[in-house]
Amino acid sequence: MPRVIIWSECQFTKLAIKEIISKKLPYVNGVIFFNRDDEVNLYTKDYLIIDPSGGGFHKCYEFLNENINVLDPERILIISSEVDMLMLGLLLKKQFKFLKKKKGLSEIVSAIQQFIQLQNMTSNKESFDYKITKMEEKVLVMMMSGLSVTSISNILKLSVKTVSVHKCNSLRKIGVDASSSSALFFLHKHAVGNRIT
């Protein structure tokens, strides 16, 4: 019987998801709340439900990055905004199952059931059509890796102005602003340089 591991900074989210699973999915072996300090071994057959909202975005990224080779991306469900999901996909070069944060309760229950039964769930590629060019994606990923605009311009042999244009275009297309958790990830975790407006 499968285990479901819930990773979230929000206690309410964890308890609500556990309640949904215990009432609707009695064949699940157990629901485990995972904190970074816990000694929980993750297995390929585990289901992982992640809520990277708020200031937890960079912790979520680090957690996924550390465990991505152990976990099956098909068994990872991320409850988040589209922007956070897109950035996780770009950073980790993986497609995950995705549930938009602002769904109604019945839709959330149904989506969690589908996910744990490995039925049709929305994947990253189907959800996001931001029309980001290959160069904009490359610049965005390099920024998320902590490189400054100047460093990126040196690596790509492009002018600083050209790199800045790609940066601004990609951020505008995905709707990143200073209040989003992804922007906080940029500004605080990776010190990207120019302020995002």
Work out the pLDDT band at 94, boundaries 50, 70, 90: confident
- 8 A C-beta contact, residue 58 and residue 88: no
For the chain, domain boundaries: 3-126, 134-189
93-99, long-range: CB within 8 Å, 24+ apart, which pairs? 94/68, 95/123, 95/124, 95/125, 96/123, 96/124, 97/121, 97/122, 97/123, 98/122, 98/123, 98/124, 98/127
pLDDT score of 173: 78
pLDDT score of 123: 53
Global pTM reads: 0.69
What digits encode the pLDDT tens for the residues 39-91? 677 788 888 898 887 667 777 888 888 888 888 888 899 888 777 788 888 88
Residue 165 has pLDDT above 80, yes or no: yes
Tokens of 147: 């490189």
- Mean residue pLDDT across the chain: 76
What digits encode the pLDDT tens for the residues 42-52? 788 888 898 88
Among 23-27, 87-91, 99-103, which is the least confidently predicted range? 23-27
- 8 A C-beta contact, residue 175 and residue 129: no
CATH entry, 3-126, from 3.30.70.3000, 3.60.20.10, 3.90.226.10, 3.40.50.2300 = 3.40.50.2300
